[in-house]
Amino acid sequence: MRSALLARMLGHDGIRAVARAAQASEATVRKGVDELEAGEAALGRVRRPGGGRKRVAELNPGLRPALLALVEPGMRGDPMSPLRWTVKSTSALAAELNHQGHRVSADTVGDLLRKEGFSMQANANTVEGTQHPDRDAQFRYGGARL
């Protein structure tokens, strides 16, 4: 509806300009303008519930068990705590799953792991400060005191 309103405000050639800017079909923008001029209320939802592409896990029921089998040996976390994580990266897991015949991306692996209660945390490297100019003197002093 916003595109239709903008097209109407632009006047002549507004539909074409909005369609190009939005990378949409002129027919789609024209339909929106017609609906706007007819006084029809904007639709809250365009796609019907359940429409669109199905999730990979729904299309491939063996994916979730295969992922969990890869993660279980390297799983970390307190057994009493709901927080779990793995030492394997999502890209490494996706590569192994693809090798097994499951077409899946690293992002999808991350989504599936989150749904299973895994925390997606990367290892953090600590950044050391610059070396103190009297470092050797500090160690010599500490060694002499022992």
Task: Say what the pTM is.
Answer: 0.50
46 token code pair? 């365009």
Name the residue ranges covered by the structural domains of the chain: 2-38, 56-115
**pLDDT reported for residue 118:** 82
Which residues, in sequence order, are CB contacts of 87 under 8 Å at separation 6+?
74, 76
pLDDT value of residue 101: 93
Q: Is the Cβ–Cβ distance between 118 and 87 less than 8 Å?
A: no
Q: How confident is the prediction along the chain (146 residues), in pLDDT tens digits per residue?
A: 577 777 878 888 888 888 888 888 888 888 888 887 887 666 666 667 777 888 888 889 999 999 988 887 655 555 566 667 777 888 999 999 999 999 999 999 999 988 888 877 766 666 666 677 777 787 787 777 76
CA dist., res. 109 & res. 90, Å (int): 6
End-to-end CA distance of the chain: 78
Q: What is the pLDDT of residue 126?
A: 67
β partners of residue 86: 75
Please tell me the predicted confidence (pLDDT) of residue 123.
64
